[in-house]
Structure 1
Amino acid sequence: MPPMLSAERRAQLLEILTRDGSIRLDTTAEILGVSAMTVRRDLDDLEREGLVRRVRGGAVAAIVPQGFSARMANRSGAKSEIARKALDLIPHGGAVALDASSTVGALVAQLDTSHELLVATNSYDNLRTAQGRPGVDAILIGGRLELRTDSFVGAVACATAASLHYDRFFTSAAALDPSFGTSEATIDEAQVKRVFADNADETVVLADATKLARHATARAFAWDEVALLVTELDPADERLDPFRDLVELR
């Protein structure tokens, strides 16, 4: 079998990263049929391009702003499981706020005819999904479109978000850290989420396991501001141990 070209390895490394959320050096070298040193050099190149962040024994995805479709393509199975676990948290009436995350989008897609809701969101993609659900009256809060994340942010978005009261605010996060709390890749994104949360009775965070034990640029919430953390993991999973005394887990 001819040796794999650098471009082919790069494509496979990024595919593994998208699927698993991390790259383990020795395991990946075995999968690709190359030396650990070759994978290490490839990861160094990807880090210089801002696509990964090197960690002991491998790499994780770099936390950078991403468009909605790119985020939706990542970890779709985990998002579906999180949505299934969180569906009964959607009230049957009243109002909810939704952020611009693809994980929350997976939850919106599961709404059924038993819901009679006002839904406010800063995501056109999540707005369109909500508009397609029976019994849902969906509004876009507007503002300045952040092209890197496909979300609406800024002063107008915050003012509109603050004009309503929500029974619950459903949000994801770029990163979750036991000490730092939840955080986002941009300050503007964190700001809008804080306004939604300030006007909601409860904030529910939906996030897959690749977000755990990481932190991004802009802090959004301390753990005492979050009512519930929903992941695709069993709540007894040891990866959730650092969060166990900080927030209710599902």
Structure 2
Amino acid sequence: MATTSTVNAESRRERLLAILEADGIIRLEEAAEGLGVSAMTVRRDLADLESDGQLRRVRGGAVPSLRPRSFLERMSTGAAAKLVIAEKALALVPEVGAAAFDASSTVGTLLSRLDGASDLTLATNSWENFQVARHQPGISALLVGGEAEERTDSFVGLLACQAASSLHYAKFFTSSAAADSARGTSEVTLAETQVKLAFAEASDETVLLLDSSKLGQRALARSLDWDRIDALVTELDPGDERLDPYRDLTDVI
């Protein structure tokens, strides 16, 4: 009997992690119903997964753990939400001039949906995002180099910040590890925030592309205050009440 219980627990946790990868969030009541167990059982499973560093519990469920993750790992999490965000943001990408795109996977999804431009210079500190952009018609892609941050597959450090600041951008497209209405956005490493700040300071406008599971959260290093963010794009309907705390801070799309 003990062996069966252990197998069932392992199976549940695998399914919970699969939900997290697909949706970017685990909703407690939905997960319990889908697994055919009590909410208390799911809470215990989430507690065990959190202790293993595989997720982070929040009110009503769990979200991905706030730790440096590879581009591939981030890209495979919450793919459906990323696609909705990308479709909304497509109309915001300029056809000409210069625009900056950070090393986030949500921005990578946006880049993968672009259908070219007229004459756009595009700068990014992500090798993966650079590879996508360089094959787009009408786009001259620039890779902002510097120190390779192996944990996040991005370029950071002094040289990256200097390169990011060397152009004047019409818009900067960015995501973040977390964001709340009081403290703005935050990241899992200080080095990531420094490059994002450099891009934002060199841009006329900053567009934040954010999976709603990250709203109301805080990560290690403070990044952009709301007065630096001109628009917030999520997968939610703009009228969703979860966006209420942000309506007076920025345009909600």
TM-score normalised to the size of structure 2? 0.93
Deviation digits for residues 17-66 of structure 1, max 9, x if unmatched? 22333333343233223344432322221111122222344333221111
Matched, 1:249 2:223: no
Q: Residue 238 of structure 2 corresponds to which residue in structure 1?
A: 235
2:221 aligns with one of 218, 223, 236: 218
- Pairwise CA RMSD: 1.8
Deviation at 1:75, TM superposition (A): 1.6
Deviation digits for residues 126-169 of structure 1, max 9, x if unmatched? 00000110011111110011111100001111111111111111
Q: Residue 101 of structure 1 corresponds to which residue in structure 2?
A: 104
Segments of 4+ moved more than 6 angstroms: none
Opposite residue 138 of structure 2, the aligned amino acid is G
Mapping 1:71-220, distance limit 5 Å: 71-220=74-223
Structure 2's unaligned 5+ residue stretches are none
Quote the Cα distance in structure 2 between the aligned partners of 1:151 and 1:72.
14
Quote the Cα distance in structure 2 between the aligned partners of 1:55 and 1:109.
31
Going from structure 1 to structure 2, the CA distance change for 1:216 and 1:166 (only over 3 Å counts) comes to: same
Structure 1's unaligned 5+ residue stretches are none
Opposite residue 210 of structure 1, the aligned amino acid is S
Matched, 1:49 2:52: yes
Quote the Cα distance in structure 1 between the aligned partners of 2:58 and 2:171.
36
Opposite residue 71 of structure 1, the aligned amino acid is R
TM-score normalised to the size of structure 1? 0.94
SS at match of 1:132: coil
SS at match of 1:127: helix
Opposite residue 42 of structure 2, the aligned amino acid is V
Deviation at 1:79, TM superposition (A): 1.2
Deviation digits for residues 208-235 of structure 1, max 9, x if unmatched? 1111111111111111111111111111
SS at match of 1:240: helix
Quote the Cα distance in structure 2 between the aligned partners of 1:81 and 1:26.
24
Going from structure 1 to structure 2, the CA distance change for 1:80 and 1:109 (only over 3 Å counts) comes to: same
Deviation digits for residues 107-130 of structure 1, max 9, x if unmatched? 112222443111110000000000
Deviation digits for residues 156-212 of structure 1, max 9, x if unmatched? 111111111111111011111000101111110011000011111111111111111
**Identity of counterpart residues, as a percentage?**
55
Quote the Cα distance in structure 2 between the aligned partners of 1:113 and 1:40.
46
Opposite residue 67 of structure 2, the aligned amino acid is V
Quote the Cα distance in structure 2 between the aligned partners of 1:10 and 1:39.
9
SS at match of 2:113: coil
Q: Residue 70 of structure 2 corresponds to which residue in structure 1?
A: 67
SS at match of 1:233: coil
Deviation at 1:4, TM superposition (A): 5.0
